[in-house]
Structures are given as structure tokens and as C-alpha cells.
Amino acid sequence: MKRCQFRAQMKTEADIKSFLEQNQPSLQERMTGNGVSRLSLFQWDSQLFVYYECPGEGPAADPHMLLPGAPEVLRVWPGGAEDRRWAPMADIFHYQAPVEELPWRTAQGSGTPYGRLARLEPDKIASYIFYHYQYQEEKPGDGCKYGIISLHEDLMFFYSEKPYLVEKAPYRGKLTTSNTPTDWGAVMDPHFVKWPDSRPWLDIPLVLHAEIEQGR
């Protein structure tokens, strides 16, 4: 199973109404056709962030197929295909990774999605990734099973679900060390460009969510 995160830029903040009107009615049909079981869309000002889950075999589902018909709403994102409107975000941290032979979603694993954003000091990006990889591989399963942080440029998107589902990871991490700092918050604090209210993370609203029942 693959977990995908992408970022898009609307032409104006008000374009969200038009975007949802274009995409919401047949979203579940497109999800089924692309093997996507769960999709959540978040908005911050004129930016959109999407998270979805799809089968692990073969290429991941394309967000342009899942959320099409938006050329007049979304800006072209440079650096990729000529008409790319969704930029991929890199997974830089997850509390737990899917294991193909085990179900990722269980009866307990269907919480309410929520998203947050943070900005990193440009010269702290490598340090942030280093500490998080170390934590991820020293302590797999240490937080919400579905919590995942993705990065594009200096902006991070954190996807998780409430209530938190904490499960022991069914695998060992890749590190056998124990170097994750105990004063985690103090170590992390210098990495962030704070929001106007001095918080490192900003909660952003969920604007669209869809699920496909397993077995359909």
C-alpha cells in the first residue's frame, strides 16, 4: 500500500468552491477506478494538500486523474511536466509504515483526518530530516499509526487522524541505536519558522474526504 501526499496552488483562495463543485460528485467513482481507498483534501489560503492511500503494486495513482478538470482553478506547478498542477511531497517521517501482508486499515483504524503545516528554516532542513529519520527507525510505532510528515521545498504537511490509534509496529526499525533526544521539543524548536502566533504548527481545515469500503 502506498501513501501519497501532493500540494497544489489555486489561482485565488475563493476558487475552492469551484474546485469542489467540479471534483466532488464523481470522486468515489474515480477513486474506485484508480484503486484509492481513502482520500483527504485540506486547504490553507490558496493552497491545497491532498493525502490518499492506494495499492502498493504498480505506479501510485495520479492526483491529476483523481482530481481532474481544474485547469481554470489550479496554477501550473513548475519543475515537472508542462501541465503539472499537483507537486509531489516527500515522506520524511512516519510513525508506522504499511506492511503488505498485514491490513493497514482495521476496525479501529478509521479516524477523522486532520492536517497541519509548518515551515522550516532553510539551513535546518537536513537537520530536521536527520533527527526524524533517527526517531522513525529507533522507535517505530511510537505515535499515531497514521501520522506522516511530507515535505515540499521548505513547507511541511502533517497528516494524522483522531482519535489517535497507537499500535506496536509489526517490524523492527532500521537502527539499533538509542540516540533520539529526550528533550525533543527543545531540539526541534530552532528548526521552525514560526507562524504569527508563535506556534510551530498551524492547523488547516479539511475540505473534502472520501472513503471506499474495503471489498467493494
Say what the pLDDT of residue 216 is: 43
Percentage of the chain beyond pLDDT 70 is 97
Can you give the pTM of this predicted structure?
0.95
Q: How confident is the model at residue 56 (pLDDT cuts 50, 70, 90)?
A: confident
- Strand extents, DSSP E, the chain: 2-9, 38-44, 47-54, 87-88, 90-94, 112-120, 148-152, 155-162, 192-193, 202-204, 206-211
Asked whether the predicted pLDDT for residue 174 surpasses 90, the reply is yes
C-alpha distances in Å from residue 108, one per residue of 122, 163, 166: 38, 10, 10
Q: What is the mean pLDDT of residues 71-88?
A: 87
Q: How many CB atoms lie within 10 A of CB 181?
A: 12
CA nearest neighbour of 37 among 11, 68, 4 = 4
In whole angstroms, give the CA distance from residue 10 to residue 175. 41
Residue type, 156: M
Q: How confident is the model at residue 189 (pLDDT cuts 50, 70, 90)?
A: very high
C-alpha distances in Å from residue 160, one per residue of 52, 84, 150: 12, 26, 12
Say what the pLDDT of residue 110 is: 76
User: Are 187 and 181 contacting, i.e. CB atoms less than 8 angstroms apart?
Assistant: yes
Q: How confident is the model at residue 43 (pLDDT cuts 50, 70, 90)?
A: very high
pLDDT in tens, 105-141: 887 667 899 999 999 999 999 999 999 999 999 999 9
**Residue 86, C-beta contacts closer than 8 angstroms, at least 6 positions apart:** 6, 7, 8, 50, 63, 64, 67, 74, 77
Say what the pLDDT of residue 39 is: 97
Residue type, 26: S
pLDDT in tens, 141-171: 999 999 999 999 999 999 999 999 999 999 9
Cell numbers at 79, concatenated? 519543475
Asked whether the predicted pLDDT for residue 73 surpasses 70, the reply is yes
CATH of domain 2-211: 3.30.70
What is the bridge-based pairing of β-strands 112-120 and 192-193?
antiparallel
CA nearest neighbour of 38 among 1, 91, 70 = 1
Q: How confident is the model at residue 69 (pLDDT cuts 50, 70, 90)?
A: low
Domain spans, the chain = 2-211
Q: How confident is the model at residue 55 (pLDDT cuts 50, 70, 90)?
A: confident
What is the bridge-based pairing of β-strands 90-94 and 148-152?
antiparallel
Q: How many CB atoms lie within 10 A of CB 155?
A: 17
